[in-house]
């Protein structure tokens, strides 16, 4: 059982404690996504991760803290994937092409059944466990809007966009692109996630609307 668990451990987690922590996070993520927050208990997480319940509580003080760590980890990983290829967004010319690439990438990374299920779960528990919603907001739209706002500010400095309030503009961009497909998936389920061709059209449409309002050739 330990061998099985160890196979899922990434090589950058140093030491036995790190391996156990990773095993707990992996086991708990699957259980939360499958059984919901209330339907998951720490005994079963410990059993599935092949560690003692004491070890689970040593790493995470409560079920809520464990779920917050998972939400932070999953949204952080998705955010890294979006940001990695566009680290210099705002430094290159041609904002239209850059924003289109960014929009397509964000749609593809975020609109996965796993992240949509996590988001449904967090929203369903947000009233009882506000820390979950805060973690998803910070790692999801919060991070996306902040990163985009600084890129928009740089383009504006160089005269390639015309934006007074970069944060408001970034929020407009974010919801033009993400609003419809994310909220459709929230309510209609994973089968309602649009296919690649529809997402590309949707990205192009959103960028066109955004640049009509914020392009420098207004």
SS3 label, residue 41? coil
Q: Is the dihedral of CA 177, 179, 180, 184 positive or negative?
A: positive
d(CA 199, CA 192) in angstroms, rounded, equals 12
Q: Choose, by CB under 8 A, the member of 52, 65, 189, 198 that binds its own copies.
A: 189
d(CA 165, CA 20) in angstroms, rounded, equals 45
Q: Choose, by CB under 8 A, the member of 2, 61, 188, 198 that binds its own copies.
A: 188
d(CA 154, CA 91) in angstroms, rounded, equals 7
In the complex with its own copies, the residue whose CB is nearer, 92 or 134, is 134
d(CA 105, CA 82) in angstroms, rounded, equals 6
In the complex with its own copies, the residue whose CB is nearer, 24 or 144, is 144
Is 217 a binding residue for its own copies by CB under 8 A? The answer is no
In the complex with its own copies, the residue whose CB is nearer, 59 or 174, is 174
| Residue 108 neighbours by CB under 8 Å, 6+ apart | 196, 199
Q: In the bound complex, what is the minimum distance in angstroms from residue 129's beta carbon to its own copies?
A: 10
In the complex with its own copies, the residue whose CB is nearer, 26 or 125, is 125
Binding mask 135-174 for its own copies (x = CB under 8 A): -xx--xx--------------------------x--xx-x
Contacts with its own copies in 194-213 (CB under 8 A)?
205-206, 208-210, 212-213
Binding mask 36-75 for its own copies (x = CB under 8 A): --x-------------------------------------
In the complex with its own copies, the residue whose CB is nearer, 89 or 163, is 163
What totals of helices (H) and strands (E) does the chain contain, helices first?
A: 11, 0
Structure tokens at 69: 């760590």
Q: In the bound complex, what is the minimum distance in angstroms from residue 180's beta carbon to its own copies?
A: 5
Structure tokens at 29: 């993520």
CB 40 within 8 A of CB 29: no
SS3 label, residue 130? helix
Residues binding its own copies (CB under 8 A): 38, 117, 120-127, 130, 133-134, 136-137, 140-141, 168, 171-172, 174-176, 178-180, 182-184, 186-189, 205-206, 208-210, 212-214, 218
């Amino acid at each position: 059982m330990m061998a099985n668990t160890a196979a899922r451990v990434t090589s950058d987690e140093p030491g036995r404690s790190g391996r156990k922590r990773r095993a707990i996070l992996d086991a708990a993520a699957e259980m939360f996504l499958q059984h919901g927050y209330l339907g998951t208990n720490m005994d079963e997480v410990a059993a599935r991760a092949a560690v003692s319940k004491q070890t689970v509580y040593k790493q995470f003080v409560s079920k809520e803290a464990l779920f917050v760590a998972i939400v932070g980890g999953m949204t952080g990983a998705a955010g890294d994937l979006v940001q990695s290829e566009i680290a210099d967004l705002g430094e290159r010319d041609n904002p239209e092409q850059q924003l289109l690439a960014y929009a397509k990438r964000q749609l593809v990374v975020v609109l996965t059944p796993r992240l949509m299920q996590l988001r449904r779960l967090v929203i369903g528990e947000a009233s009882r466990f506000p820390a979950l919603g805060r973690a998803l907001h910070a790692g999801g739209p919060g991070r996306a809007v902040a990163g985009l706002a600084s890129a928009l500010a740089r383009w504006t400095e160089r005269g390639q966009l015309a934006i007074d309030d970069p944060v408001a503009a970034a929020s407009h961009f974010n919801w033009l692109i993400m609003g419809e497909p994310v909220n459709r998936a929230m309510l209609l389920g994973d089968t309602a996630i649009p296919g690649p061709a529809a997402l590309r059209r949707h990205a192009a449409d959103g960028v066109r609307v955004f640049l009509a309002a914020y392009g420098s050739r207004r």
